[in-house]
Amino acid sequence: MSVVGKDLQMRRQLVRGSATVLTAAGITALLGARGAALAQKRTGNAGQDVGVLNAAIALEHEGIAAYTIAAGSGLLQPAVVKIGVTFRGHHQRHRDELIKVVTALGGKPAAAKSDAEYATALNAAALKNQTDVLRLALKLERGAANAYLGLIPSLATADRHQLVARMAGDEAFHAAILGNALGDPIPTDGLMFGA
């Protein structure tokens, strides 16, 4: 079953299973802290996870924009543009999966800013050649792999752990390709991400 399917099923079970489905605050009022802890456990800490996953959506929005900006920069060889567009497709898939989860948890998915705003935030004006673009992409991809791995302990359910771990895998794949394109040496030690 998909991540979203499970979350939906969980929410339905919550609604069906108990006449006392209240907000965490309501349960605190009735039962004290123990009740709130129980409620959090049952909802998979939805509130906190929505915020954290929305930050991940924002990260994906920026990644998608970065590849769009790079593809339109005129600095890349056509074959490199093609790879960048493929990577952008992976990030769009991540964004879409995250949006499904946030929506299923009752949250409002974070909206994208304009490409111009991302270009400013990423200092795209400073990019002078293909190597500069690849270096920026590598930095973002490596950072994204590490970011996802560092989010895992903050998320409440195994479904969400698995989703962000899968995305970290994609980002690590991107980082490996980009590092190879730049001629960077292979790291000597294992466990190269997420420490």
Partner 1 sequence: MWRPHSCGAAVAGMVVALLLQAIPAAAQSPVRTPPSAAAAAAAGDATRGEQLYQSRCGACHSLDANRVGPRHRNVFGRRVAAVPDFHYSAALRKRTFTWDAATLDRWLENPGALVPGTTMGFRVSSAQDRADIIAYLRDHSAPSSP
Which partner in ligand HEC, partner 1, none is near 140 (CB below 5 to 8 A by kind)?
partner 1
- Which string of x and - marks every residue 53-92 that binds partner 1 (by CB under 8 A)? -xx--xx--x----------------xx-xx---------
Q: Going by C-beta distance under 8 Å and a sequence separation of 6 or more, which residues neighbour residue 89?
A: none
Q: How many residues does the chain have?
A: 195
**What are the C-alpha distances in Å from 84 to residues 4, 68, 80?**
28, 8, 6
Assess 55 for contact with ligand HEC (CB under 6 A): yes
Which partner in partner 1, ligand HEC, none is near 172 (CB below 5 to 8 A by kind)?
none
In the complex, what is the shortest distance from the CB of residue 163 to ligand HEC, in angstroms, rounded to a whole number?
14
Rounded Cα–Cα distance for residues 18 and 185 (Å) = 57
Stretch that binds partner 1, among 30-38, 44-52, 67-75, 94-102 (CB under 8 A): 44-52
Q: By C-beta, is 15 or 55 nearer to ligand HEC?
A: 55
User: Shortest CA distance to 178 belongs to which of 69, 94, 87, 115?
Assistant: 87
Burial class from Cβ neighbours inside 10 Å (0-12, 13-18, 19+) for residue 18 reads exposed
User: Shortest CA distance to 141 belongs to which of 111, 176, 191?
Assistant: 176
Q: Which residues bind ligand HEC (CB under 6 A)?
A: 55, 59, 147
Q: Which residues bind partner 1 (CB under 8 A)?
A: 47-48, 51-52, 54-55, 58-59, 62, 79-80, 82-83, 120-123, 139-140, 142-144, 146-147, 150-151, 153-155, 180-183, 185-189, 195
